[in-house]
Amino acid sequence: MTPPRASGYFRTQYAQDFALLDTRTQRAWMLLFALALAVYPFYAGPLALDLANQVLLGVVGAVALMLLTGCAGQISLGHAGLLAAGAFTAGILFKEFGAPFWVTLPASALVGALLGLVFGLPSLRLRGLYLAVSTLALHFIVIHLGAEYETKRGFSTGILVDPPSVGRWVLVDARGWYFVLLAFACAAVLLSLNLLRTRTGRAWRAIHGREAVAGALGISVQGAKLSAFVVSSAMTAVAGALFAYFRGFVSVEAFSLFLTIQYVAMVIIGGMGSILGAVLGTVFVILFPYTIEWLMQAAGLAERLSGVVFAVNYSAFGLVMILFLVFEPQGLVGIWRRTQAWFLLWPFRHRPLAGSK
Amino acid sequence: MQLAVNVAVLASLYALIACGYVLIYRVSRVLSLAHGELMMLGAYGLFATASFFPGHPVLAIGVAAALALAVGVLVYLALMWRMTGESVLAAVLATIALGILLRGLIILVFGTQTRHPLEALGFANGSIAVGGGARISTVGLVLVLTCAASYAALFAFLRLSRWGIRMRAAGQNPLLAAQRGIGLHGVYAIAWGLATFTGGMAGMLIACDAGLEGTMVVLGLKAFPAALVGGLDSLAGALIGALVIAAAEVLMVHHVDPLLSDVVPFLVLLVMLIVRPWGLFGSREELDRV
């Protein structure tokens, strides 16, 4: 996964090459991080806990999009449509059949996978821009179907979904949600990291690099594209279903094009092709509006601009996205890697030229 | 008969918006998803000038049109020239980000309530009988005429003028064009300027007809299928594509379900992408270049 360290640590066994964390220091840090995550909800206030929940929920969707766009190189502008599909599957199954969550979640995944197949079919003929446009078209169609259901069944304001329950235990408090969402986020991250180390993941990276070469190496380009769409969409739909339960409410208004843009921004700002990037990007994008609000309060502008906070958010969000695209296309991960390199190479500024060890 | 008139008005609207997509794509291979916002900016520009020059509608319209042109050139000079030569995704995302930025700024400056630039200009929107029991609103008629005039001017510009020929050359092969001494940045800036100008005109006319508010952006997106159905690199195609999309939309809304209005263009788009992805009049090798 990670490149060999400059410190003289060399891998001598395959098992070391497979390991996700390959030095003792990394393992120690990871343990510390896991502990911090575990005790976080007991010390965080209600707002901090809600933010953490939003981030964890976002991570599932962002990782899914990262697999598709960052790793397999297939541009998708239909992410909100897929989230909506998952949320509506859960909502409709609950409303029409009273299905419990252990039915609705797998059903959402299944619907997501099927939709992924549909979203992925254009990718067999189209590339780049045209693919992005076809996924955009599918987004509008999924949203239309959702709106159609809402109006035809008389839920024009949205579908109310009861919180999931096991026996007498009902999942309502934020702390409970934190651990459930943490489990899903960890599962998504681990699944993606492991997938990327398998034949499938390497095939995705190969078609991202160059399709013709990937085909010449014996990779089924069509198969790899479709599998990327199916896996990513299934994960996204599960994220959508979780969203429905978390909010307790499903409505097409929540799945506008802006949601897609937010997820794409997570991937861009985080850094293309890196799961760590997806997580960092999610944290950034979710916390961003709250930071802006806090800054406005600190600057004493909050009262004057109280009616247009969301407009300020909008413009600042667009500006930050532009700044990242223009000045830091590698995203937050790029900054992180440069910082690492700075410490690794210190006191030198650059890596030695190739060839000299 | 009324249906035909509706189709004609909607088609000219789509065509006027779609030619912006085509111009930018044909010259610089960038898909501008900020077109809806730029269009809205043009309309708000008209509203601003109309309030700024009360009693001088012609002056207000002229200044607003010049502003739209300037904004397009500015967008290229400030942002998009950095994206020249970057990946398709980066350029498209930059336009999306620009769109969000503009939308936020517009709300910050102009607020969220619906505006009526036509009243600010001091005109009223009448309706004219065109025979067969059909009527067309004055603004609708102006829209059809503007669209026809814009397309005629654009065709003449691209075919006859020196800069138009440079634009076509840059679109065909940027490397060769640059080596023959064509300044690509200048050509691209003009393309952005013209695209924003035509989009801005469309925005102003819709704002005059239906009032001015944030939902106009969706209209900008709905015109994109028109550009693609006709072929993203063909100006004549955009005209035909707009006609196809407008006819499909008006007929579906009339005969099937009014809720379909937002989806029909994208359904047509999907069918087109499956059957003939390069569009009715587009060139086939476009697909492999992106």
Q: Name the residue of chain B whose CA is nearest to A76's CA.
A: B89
The ipTM estimated for the assembled molecules is 0.85
Residues of A in contact with B90 (CB under 8 A): 325, 329
Report for A141-145, A154-158, A182-186, A264-268: range of highest mean pLDDT: A182-186
Query: Is A122–B274 a contact, with Cβ atoms under 8 angstroms apart?
Result: yes
Query: Is A321–B100 a contact, with Cβ atoms under 8 angstroms apart?
Result: yes
With a cut of 50, say whether residue B128 has pLDDT above it.
yes
More reliable by pLDDT, A24 or B126 = A24
How far is the C-alpha of A13 from the C-alpha of B178, rounded, in Å?
53
B191 pLDDT tier (thresholds 50, 70, 90): very high
B92 touches chain A (CB under 8 A): yes
Token pair 């969402």 in the structure block, residue: A181
Q: What's the pLDDT at A354? A: 62
Q: What is the pLDDT of residues B215-247, one digit of tens each?
A: 788 888 888 888 888 888 888 888 999 999 999
Query: Is A318–B97 a contact, with Cβ atoms under 8 angstroms apart?
Result: yes
Query: Is A151–B262 a contact, with Cβ atoms under 8 angstroms apart?
Result: no
Q: From the CA of A198, how many Å to the nearest CA of chain B? A: 26
A238 pLDDT tier (thresholds 50, 70, 90): very high
Q: What is the pLDDT of residues A270-312, one digit of tens each?
A: 988 889 999 999 999 999 989 988 888 888 776 666 667 778 8
What is the torsional sign of CA A130, A132, A138, A139? negative
CA angle at B33 for the pair B157 and A290, rounded to the nearest 5° = 145
Q: Which two tokens stand for residue A280?
A: 């960092």
Q: From the CA of A251, how many Å to the nearest CA of chain B? A: 16
Q: Name the residue of chain A whose CA is nearest to B111's CA.
A: A308
With a cut of 50, say whether residue A139 has pLDDT above it.
yes
B100 → closest Cβ in A122, A318, A326? A318
With a cut of 80, say whether residue B211 has pLDDT above it.
no
Residues of B in contact with A319 (CB under 8 A): 97, 101
B285 pLDDT tier (thresholds 50, 70, 90): low
With a cut of 70, say whether residue A73 has pLDDT above it.
yes
Q: Chain B 142-201, CB below 8 Å of chain A: which residues?
A: none
Query: Is A140–B31 a contact, with Cβ atoms under 8 angstroms apart?
Result: no
Question: What value does the mean pLDDT take over residues A234-240?
Answer: 95
A142 touches chain B (CB under 8 A): no
Q: Name the residue of chain B whose CA is nearest to A313's CA.
A: B104
A95 pLDDT tier (thresholds 50, 70, 90): confident
CB contacts < 8 Å between A and B, how many?
124
Cis peptide leading into residue A347 (ω within 30°): yes
Of the residues B84, B103, B249, B266, the best mutation for testing chain A's interface (the one with the most A CB atoms within 10 Å of its CB) is: B266
Contact (Cβ atoms closer than 8 angstroms) between residue B239 and residue B15: yes
Q: What's the pLDDT at A272? A: 87
Contact (Cβ atoms closer than 8 angstroms) between residue A259 and residue A78: no
How far is the C-alpha of B121 from the C-alpha of B62, rounded, in Å?
12
Record the pTM: 0.88
Work out the burial of residue A96: count CB atoms within 10 Å of its CB; fewer than 13 is exposed, 13-18 middle, 19 or more buried: exposed
A316 touches chain B (CB under 8 A): yes
B223 touches chain A (CB under 8 A): no
Q: What's the pLDDT at B282? A: 76
A3 pLDDT tier (thresholds 50, 70, 90): low
Work out the burial of residue A3: count CB atoms within 10 Å of its CB; fewer than 13 is exposed, 13-18 middle, 19 or more buried: exposed
Question: What value does the mean pLDDT take over residues B11-25?
Answer: 91
What does the mean pLDDT of chain B come to? Answer: 86
How far is the C-alpha of A156 from the C-alpha of A150, rounded, in Å?
5
B82 touches chain A (CB under 8 A): yes
Q: Name the residue of chain A whose CA is nearest to B33's CA.
A: A133
Residues of A in contact with B92 (CB under 8 A): 75, 129, 132
Question: What value does the mean pLDDT take over residues B268-281?
Answer: 83
With a cut of 50, say whether residue B272 has pLDDT above it.
yes
DSSP 8-class letter at B115: B
With a cut of 70, say whether residue B96 has pLDDT above it.
yes
Contact (Cβ atoms closer than 8 angstroms) between residue B138 and residue B126: yes
Query: Is A130–B89 a contact, with Cβ atoms under 8 angstroms apart?
Result: no
How far is the C-alpha of A341 from the C-alpha of B59, rounded, in Å?
59
A190 touches chain B (CB under 8 A): no
More reliable by pLDDT, B210 or A302 = B210
Q: What's the pLDDT at A357? A: 46
A141 → closest Cβ in B31, B88, B263? B263
What does the mean pLDDT of chain A come to? Answer: 87
Q: What's the pLDDT at A100? A: 87
Q: Name the residue of chain A whose CA is nearest to B32's CA.
A: A129
Residues of A in contact with B98 (CB under 8 A): 318, 322
Of the residues A129, A211, A263, the best mutation for testing chain B's interface (the one with the most B CB atoms within 10 Å of its CB) is: A129
How far is the C-alpha of A32 from the C-alpha of A265, rounded, in Å?
29
Q: What's the pLDDT at B289? A: 43
A122 pLDDT tier (thresholds 50, 70, 90): confident
Q: Which two tokens stand for residue B189?
A: 């800036």
Give the number of other CB atoms < 10 A from CB of residue B239: 25
Work out the burial of residue B182: count CB atoms within 10 Å of its CB; fewer than 13 is exposed, 13-18 middle, 19 or more buried: middle
Residues of B in contact with A261 (CB under 8 A): 96, 100
How far is the C-alpha of A86 from the C-alpha of A75, rounded, in Å?
20
CA distances from A325 to A4, A5, A228, B41 (A): 29, 29, 25, 23
CA angle at B188 for the pair B73 and B206, rounded to the nearest 5° = 55
B266 touches chain A (CB under 8 A): yes
Of the residues B75, B79, B89, the best mutation for testing chain A's interface (the one with the most A CB atoms within 10 Å of its CB) is: B89
Which residues fall within 8 angstroms of residue A241, CB to CB, at 6 or more apart? A86, A87, A89, A90, A104, A105, A108
